[in-house]
């Protein structure tokens, strides 16, 4: 029998790549250079590999799935979000999909809290002023921000990361937490996670929030969920934090809300069509812009690799992987 072929689409932390090679699961290709695969590479991969370990920045052509049918058995995604994978097409073509939840919850919530603080207290703007040599010294009216402690945080999506954000905000900063999620969250979970209160809609949360933080998955159901209506419902001077997915926010509406003053600022880690950025983002000093760093710590990125390998190993051994999506 031909040796099983496994492809890792992007460079992983050394420790995780070394383990994958040592596991003896098949011939492992650690693709280099560390750039996104183009369409031709995806189509070639479709007929070549038994297992592919893709990640969030992969753009997988629609024709890939039928072309991979019968050969590719599993896509063990490196990452919790899987909106870059067409789950229905994978299922229809007999391809299992797994992801890597849990291991990036804390670091993503840490980053979201960091973006919230940086946007509220204008840390990026202040640093740029200082580095440019424009700081003229302390004065009572200099770079006034928005108080975080005791303010109301609205959370959209109360899954693992939303809950972790709620705990940080409530326990660390005495924030009141309100949230929206499609599932009715049990009282015990709300109590344990920032004594959070569930509201009926995104607009209701926006109306109460001094800070609105997004933690829902990307994909068709949440595409431009935060639109002009949501911005209109927000308190004037509110701040938006997005560490979820860029396409959850209608970016035209975001710029309008900044122009009208409805939004006092935003801390953003993700963008529609990233890494290409709408040039308007760079025009606003009050925006804190990070390059999709939510899970970017040594510990978490290694753990994501281990989790993807655990899923792959379980699947190839004929067991149900812990993180089977489809
Ligand atoms: C994910 O895992 O979905 C993040 O966006 C990248 O860590």
Q: How high is the pLDDT of residue 1?
A: 75
Q: Cα–Cα distance between 263 and 155 in angstroms, integer?
A: 16
Residue 80 near ligand 1, beta carbon < 6 Å? yes
User: Token digits for 171?
Assistant: 């326990």
Give the chain's radius of gyration (CA, Å): 21
Cβ(159)–Cβ(215) below 8 Å: yes
- Which residues partner with 214 through β-bridges? 156, 242
Active-site position among 10, 168, 292, 301: 292
Name the residue at shortest CA distance from atom 4 of ligand 1: 79
Task: Quote the ligand 1 centre to 295 CA distance (angstroms).
Answer: 6
pLDDT digits (tens, 9 = 90+) for 234-292: 999 999 999 999 999 999 999 999 999 999 999 999 999 999 999 999 999 999 999 99
Q: Cα–Cα distance between 180 and 12 in angstroms, integer?
A: 34
Q: How high is the pLDDT of residue 276?
A: 97
Higher pLDDT, 242 or 1: 242
pLDDT digits (tens, 9 = 90+) for 32-44: 999 999 999 999 9
Percent of the chain with pLDDT over 70: 100
pLDDT digits (tens, 9 = 90+) for 310-321: 999 999 999 999
Residue 54 near ligand 1, beta carbon < 6 Å? no
Residue 218 near ligand 1, beta carbon < 6 Å? no
pLDDT digits (tens, 9 = 90+) for 112-165: 999 999 999 999 999 999 999 999 999 999 999 999 999 999 999 999 999 999
Mark whether 307 is an active-site residue. no
pLDDT digits (tens, 9 = 90+) for 184-239: 999 999 999 999 999 999 999 999 999 999 999 999 999 999 999 999 999 999 99
**Residue whose CB lies within 8 A of the most ligand 1 atoms, among 81, 159, 293, for a mutation test:** 81
pLDDT at 309 over 80: yes
Percent of the chain with pLDDT over 90: 99
**Mean pLDDT, all residues of the chain:** 98
pLDDT at 183 over 90: yes
pLDDT digits (tens, 9 = 90+) for 71-100: 999 999 999 999 999 999 999 999 999 999
Per-residue HEC secondary structure of the chain comes to CCCCEEEECCCCCHHHHHHHHHCCCCEEEECCCCCCCCHHHHHHHHCCCCEEECECCCCCCCCHHHHHCCCCCEEECECCCCCCCCHHHHHHCCCEEECCCCCCHHHHHHHHHHHHHHHHCCHHHHHHHHHCCCCCCCCCCCCCCCCCCCCEEEEECCCHHHHHHHHHHHHHHCCEEEEECCCCCCHHHHHHCCCCEECCCHHHHHHHCCEEEECCCCCHHHCCCECHHHHHHCCCCEEEEECCCHHHECHHHHHHHHHHCCEEEEEECCCCCCCCCCHHHHHCCCEEECCCCCCCCHHHHHHHHHHHHHHHHHHHCCCCCCCECC
pTM of the model: 0.97
């Amino acid at each position: 029998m031909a040796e099983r072929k496994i492809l890792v689409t992007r460079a992983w932390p050394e420790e995780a790549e070394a383990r994958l090679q040592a596991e003896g699961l098949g011939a492992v290709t650690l693709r280099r250079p560390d750039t996104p695969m183009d369409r031709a590479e995806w189509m070639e991969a479709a007929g070549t590999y038994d297992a592919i370990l893709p990640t969030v920045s992969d753009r997988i052509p629609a024709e890939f799935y039928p072309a991979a049918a019968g050969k590719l058995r599993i896509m063990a995604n490196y990452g919790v979000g899987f909106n870059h994978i067409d789950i229905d097409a994978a299922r229809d073509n007999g391809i299992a999909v797994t992801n890597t939840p849990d291991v990036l919850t804390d670091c993503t919530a840490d980053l979201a809290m960091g973006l919230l603080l940086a946007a509220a207290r204008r840390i990026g703007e202040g640093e740029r002023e200082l580095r440019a040599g424009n700081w003229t010294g302390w004065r009572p009216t200099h770079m006034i921000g928005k108080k975080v402690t005791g303010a109301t945080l609205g959370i959209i999506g109360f899954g693992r990361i939303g809950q972790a954000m709620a705990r940080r905000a409530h326990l660390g900063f005495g924030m009141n937490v309100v949230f929206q999620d499609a599932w009715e969250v049990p009282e015990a979970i709300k109590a344990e996670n920032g004594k959070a209160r569930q509201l009926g809609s995104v607009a209701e949360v926006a109306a109460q929030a001094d800070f609105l933080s997004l933690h829902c998955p990307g994909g068709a159901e949440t595409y431009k969920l935060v639109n002009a209506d949501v911005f209109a419902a927000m308190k004037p001077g509110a701040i938006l934090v997005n560490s979820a997915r860029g396409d959850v926010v209608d970016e035209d509406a975001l710029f309008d809300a900044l122009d009208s003053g409805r939004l006092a600022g935003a801390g953003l880690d993700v963008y529609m069509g990233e890494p290409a950025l709408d040039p308007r983002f760079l025009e606003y000093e009050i925006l804190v812009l990070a390059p999709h760093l939510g899970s970017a710590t040594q510990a978490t990125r290694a753990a994501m690799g281990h989790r993807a390998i655990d899923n792959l190993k379980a699947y190839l051994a004929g067991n149900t992987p812990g993180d089977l999506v489809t």
